[in-house]
Amino acid sequence: MKVAITSTGNTLESNVDQRFGRCAYFVIYDSESKSVEYIPNPNKQISEGAGPASVQILAERGVHKIVSGDFGLKVKPLLDSLKVQMIVIKHTPKTVSDIIESLEH
Partner 1 sequence: MFIIFAVNKSSLNMSPRIKRIRKVVNPPAIKGFKPYGLQRRDENAESVNLLIEEYEALRLCDYESYNQFDASIMMGVSRPTFTRIYASALQKIATAFVEGRQMAIEGGKVYFDSDWYQCNDCLCFFNNPEKNILITHCPLCGSKEFQRNEDVDLYENATSVPKEDVCVCMKCHYEHRHRHGNPCKNEVCPQCGGIMHRRNNIKS
- Compute the least distance from the CB of residue 67 to partner 1, in Å: 7
What burial letters (b/e) apply to 54-74, b meaning 16+ CB within 10 Å?
bbebbeeeebebbbbbebeee
> Does residue 61 bind partner 1 (CB under 8 A)?
no
> Does residue 89 bind partner 1 (CB under 8 A)?
yes
Q: How far apart are CA 26 and CA 10, in angstroms?
A: 9
- Closer residue to partner 1 in complex, CB, 45/60: 60
Positions in the binding site for partner 1 (CB under 8 A): 65, 67, 70-71, 73, 76-77, 79-92, 99, 102-103, 105
